Every structure is written in structure tokens, then in C-alpha cells.
Amino acid sequence: MSAAQPTPTRRSLLAISAAGGALGPALFADPGHAEAVVAGGGSSAIRPFRVNVPQADLVDLRRRIAATRWPERETVNDPSQGVQLATTRKLADYWANGYDWRKVEAKLNALPQFVTEIDGLDIHFIHVRSKHEKALPVIITHGWPGSIIEQLKVIDPLTNPTAHGGTAADAFHVVIPSLPGHGFSGKPTTTGWDPIRIARAWAVLMPRLGYTRYVAQGGDWGNAVTEQMALQTPPGLVGIHTNMPATVPPDIDSAALAGSPPPAGLSADEKRAYDQLSFFYAHGLGYAQEMSHRPQTLYAIEDSPVGLAAWMIDHDEQSYELIARVFAGQPEGLTRDDVLDNITLYWLTNTAVSSARLYWESKLAFFAPKGVQLPTAVSVFPDELYAAPRSWAEKAYPKLIHYNRLDKGGHFAAWEQPQFFTTEIRAAFQPLRA
């Protein structure tokens, strides 16, 4: 395959039809690779996309889970040594014996999905247009270890607000791309695909879809990409929303990274944010450090589904504790299927290492203010890596048009708390509607 095509090393997950044609099964060139049937129209063509996972891949997944070589139990009674054995065994048991990938595959295939080439790489995206005439286009970007799975629950509330407690004036046309190297997008074969370049690609995608005026939203890497879009000020982008803002003053960030006592004079909200940052820097950065320095070393999580799952659910303490409760029979916001839909997507697309390279590519200071001058909205969820105080947000975003602190929710806001997230998006962009 060319560098512009998705390159899964397992059997094909793709079936792409000619424009307007029926979406059929993937065509296999050999047992390990597949050809994509694509539409004409040159490199800017928008080709329909359908997920089609061979049953053999699902059988192989269950076989690998069953063959896991387990370590002994941790020597403490808390998660301070990492993902606990009891949680991982419960996850693996359900994954092998109760989970059904076909359910989420059907959900994905019920949505309009497409692939288009931008800057030499195939970009996969969901694109759902609202029936409401004055809907505002929004591009929503996921992060790691997230995917398009994160946003599935908010698509209908955003595009069809009258069925979800809103009015026609709340409607959005929704575009949700898969980051390069993630999910069904192509895997870069050369360096350079950092958030800055991805932002430029998104600024190509939206006009290609016919949108001349739109907004952007993101959290985690999605925030990094969305902020870079705002800095690049492409024609048509009128504002952004973030649920993981970059607002930390340099002196605060340096002190937190060093593990120093909090600087004097912090407000209560600033002190809480400082404590959250200090804890994350001291206890939660291991995954990011490894991926930012040696992503190619992570062969084990490409080869072991249980290893991949443990790596992904250890993103931050609050998210892990939520997921552990889910597998202990206490679903709240997320279900077991939610968690495994996302992990299984990474497994089936063979994107553990290709997604990790984004940490190696990016040279941005993640939480540092970037000087965004476009209208910006901020939603603060209490269990995010840090809860950005209004005082910091106002300095980071001089044109702050919305700031709200939510009562519940964490790093995966749209996934965990879709109703709160939807309400926030409606309120955030209301001032920017034409």
C-alpha cells in the first residue's frame, strides 16, 4: 500500500466503496493484507468507509486473552503499584467470554463515515449533518488513549437537539476525525505529524466538507490540536471549546513539576489545581514519558491484548479508579462495553505504537498557555488531570466567552458525562452562532 493508505498489519478492517455505490466486504490481497476499493476524484476525494472486522481476528483476540501469562498479585492493597490484578482479570474474563465487538461495529456502520487524503495521509472521520437548517459545524478531536468511541454518545444530542431537551437553535453538524496513527486513519510513515500539522489538516478537512464557518472542540491531544487551529486562524474558524485547557502559569508549572510546596498567594481553586498537577507529575506521567521518548519500544502492547488494556486504563488515577469500579460491578458514566469498545478498536487497528508516536512528535508544553486570541470556551470537569481555575483561564484565553465548573466528570468528559458535555457545547458556542 502507498503511504496514503491505512496500513493495518492484521487482516483488513476496511471496506470502502466507490462514491454512491454499495458498501461491500473488503478484498484480500493475501492473508495478511487487504486492498481498499476507493472512489475516483483524485487525492481530495471523499470516500465512504465501513468497518468490517474478519471473524478470525476476533477469534484470535479471544485466544490471546486466554493465553495471557499472568503476573503475581501486587504486594499492596491499593493501585499505587499500577493496574491491579483483580481488575485486569475481571476485564480479561469479560473481554474473552462476554464482550461483543459486533455491537459497536454496528453503531459505527450506522453512522456516515468517510476517508479522505490530506497532506499525503488518509484521514478517517465521522460526519453527521443535522436536519436543522442553521446548524453550526463543529469538528471534535479525541485524545489518547481515546478514539472516536469517546464521542459516540454526543453525536445525536448535538445534531438532533430537539430529541434531547434542546431546540433547533442548538443544532450542530458534527465532524469527528480519527487522529493520524489512531483508529482507522492512516499511519504516518515519516516524521512530522505533530499537533501543529494535524491542525493544518483539520483546516483542510472542514472546507473540503463545504464548511466556510465553523467551530472546534477538543480535550487531551484534541485540545492541543484545537488550540493550534486557533493559533493558525484558518479562514472560517470562529471559536474553540476545550475540556482540558492549557492555562498553567510557567512558575506554577515549574514548581509543580519539581514537587515544591505551593507558591504563596494561591486562591482555593488555584491551590487545588496545583495539588492535582503536582500529583500527576509525580505519579501519573510514566506512560507519557515512555511514549514521548521511546514509543517504538512498546512492542508488548501490540502483541498482548491484556497488556494493551492495562497500559490504556492506567492513564490517570481518577479514570483508572472509575474503570476499576465499572469492572467491579459499579458502572457510573462508563460501562464495561464502553471501556472495551475503545481498547478493542486500538487492538484491531494495530495502533498501539503508531498512536504513541504522537507523544514523540509533539514538542509543545502541554499545559502552558499558548496565546490563543480566538473566542474560547472552557468547561472544567472536577476529575480532570487538573481543574483549571477561572483566573488562569482568563489569562490564557483573553477572549474567554464561557467558563463553567461541572459537578461531575473527568478526563473523558464526552464519554463519561455526555449530557453535561452536550449542555456545555451548546452554551459555549451560543454567542458565536450567526
Query: Does residue 341 have an active-site annotation?
Result: no
Q: Give the C-alpha separation, 276 to 384, whole Å.
A: 9
Residue 67, Cβ neighbours under 10 Å: how many?
10
pLDDT at 37: 30
Instruction: Specify the pLDDT at position 434.
Output: 76
Cα–Cα distance for residue pair 126/123, rounded to 1 Å: 10
> Are the beta carbons of 409 and 417 closer than 8 angstroms?
yes
Q: Quote the mean pLDDT of the chain.
A: 91
**Which of the pair, 332 or 221, is modelled with greater confidence?**
221
Q: Return the pLDDT at 41.
A: 57
Does the pLDDT value for residue 350 go beyond 80?
Answer: yes
Among 170, 194, 220, 314, the one annotated catalytic? 220
| Structure confidence by residue, pLDDT tens digits, 135-155 | 999 999 999 999 999 999 999
Q: Are 346 and 142 in contact (CB under 8 A)?
A: no
From 124, 132, 173, 411, the catalytic residue: 411
Q: In this structure, how many other beta carbons lie within 10 angstroms of the beta carbon of residue 426?
A: 21
For the domain made up of 1-247+284-434, give the CATH fold: Rossmann fold (3.40.50)
What pLDDT is stored for residue 34 in this prediction?
A: 26
Q: Which residue has the higher pLDDT, 158 or 35?
A: 158
**How does DSSP classify residue 295?**
G
211 included as an active-site residue: no
What tens digit of pLDDT does each residue of 18-52 get? 233 322 223 222 222 222 333 335 789 999 999 99
Q: Which of 151-160, 188-197, 327-336 has the lowest mean pLDDT?
A: 327-336
What H or E segment, with its residue span, contains residue 271? helix 268-283
145 prior amide bond cis, ω within 30: yes
Q: How far apart are CA 215 and CA 206, in angstroms?
A: 10
Q: State yes or no: is 338 an active-site residue.
A: no
pLDDT the model gives residue 38: 35
163 pLDDT above the threshold of 50: yes
Q: H or E segment at 128? A: strand 121-128
Peptide bond into 25 cis (omega under 30): no
- In angstroms, the CA 225 to CA 202 distance is 9
For the chain, domain boundaries: 1-247+284-434
Q: How far apart are CA 127 and CA 187, in angstroms?
A: 21
For 79, counting Cβ atoms within 10 Å of its Cβ (0-12 exposed, 13-18 middle, 19+ buried), the class is: middle
Indicate if the pLDDT at residue 254 is higher than 60: yes
What would the pLDDT profile of 353-370 be if each residue is shown by its tens digit?
999 999 999 999 999 999
Q: How confident is the model at residue 404 (pLDDT cuts 50, 70, 90)?
A: very high
Count of CA atoms in the C-beta half-sphere (13 A) of 192: 8
Question: Residues 299, 301, 305, 307: is their CA dihedral positive or negative?
Answer: positive
Q: Which residue out of 274, 287, 359, 403 is catalytically annotated?
A: 359
